[in-house]
């Protein structure tokens, strides 16, 4: 096909298209890291936020379902695959706890909560739709600093020999 006689896009069309693409990437960029400590604020465990409250406040925790993974084809001994729903009232607190033996992920269904993690120099704000990974080396506590009840879904690999603390995420 010969393109010499086809109209060429003007400079302004090209600039508008470039701005549109750049804007789309800029809008998506925060979502890529939503729910995690900003890369420039990650610190060694124990160098971030200090231990917080040791008792829960205004939080309910309901185990919706758990599966004994030793009875599944995976045959992972000593672990439950567990799904829980937590509701944190305004001012509610999930106390300081560790994830060294229990990896988890938290999905923020509604509301906004702030996490104070031992491996992050700044508090982490989690908003509706965010997923917060909780890995080995994570010790933290959470607070609902908003004006509405926050609803969270937690999935974890719970050690069957560990005492269930209904207030840990």
- Please provide the DSSP assignment of 42-95 as one string: B--TTSSSPP--SS-EEEEEEEEEEEEGGGSTT--TTEEEEEEEEEEEEEEEEE
Q: Where are the domains of the chain?
A: 39-159
pTM over cut 0.85: no
The mean pLDDT of 151-165, rounded to a whole number, is 86
Q: What CATH superfamily classification does 39-159 receive?
A: Jelly Rolls (2.60.120.10)
- Min mean pLDDT across 17-26, 100-109, 116-125 is at 17-26
- Tokens 């009232």, residue? 89
User: What is residue 16's predicted lDDT score, i.e. its pLDDT?
Assistant: 43
Question: For residue 114, is pLDDT > 50?
Answer: yes
CA distance 105 to 83: 10
Return the minimum-mean-pLDDT range out of 2-16, 18-32, 137-151: 18-32
pLDDT at 120 over 70: yes
Whole-angstrom Cα distance, residue 37 to residue 116? 10
- What tens digit of pLDDT does each residue of 72-96 get? 998 999 999 999 999 999 999 999 9
Enumerate long-range contacts of 42-45, CB under 8 Å, 24 or more apart: 42/119, 42/120, 42/121, 43/119, 43/120, 43/121, 44/119, 45/118, 45/119, 45/137, 45/138, 45/139
94 near 117, Cβ under 8 Å?
no
Give me 55's structure tokens.
């008792």
**Burial (CB count <10 Å: 0-12, 13-18, 19+), residue 27:** exposed
Rounded CA separation 116/122 (Å)? 7
């Amino acid at each position: 096909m010969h393109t010499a006689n086809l109209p060429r896009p003007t400079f302004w069309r090209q600039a508008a298209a470039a701005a549109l693409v750049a804007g789309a990437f800029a809008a998506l960029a925060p979502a890529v890291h939503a729910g995690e400590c900003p890369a420039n604020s990650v610190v060694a465990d124990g160098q971030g936020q200090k231990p917080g409250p040791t008792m829960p406040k205004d939080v309910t925790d309901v185990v919706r379902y758990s599966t004994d993974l030793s009875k599944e084809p995976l045959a992972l001994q000593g672990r439950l695959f567990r799904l829980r729903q937590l509701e944190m009232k305004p001012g509610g607190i999930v106390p300081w706890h560790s994830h060294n033996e229990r990896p988890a992920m938290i999905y923020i269904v509604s509301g906004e909560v702030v996490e104070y993690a031992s491996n992050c120099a700044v508090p982490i704000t989690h908003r509706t739709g965010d997923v917060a990974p909780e890995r080995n080396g994570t010790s933290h506590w959470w607070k609902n600093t908003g004006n509405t009840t926050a609803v969270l879904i937690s999935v974890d690999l719970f050690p069957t020999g560990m005492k269930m603390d209904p207030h840990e995420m």
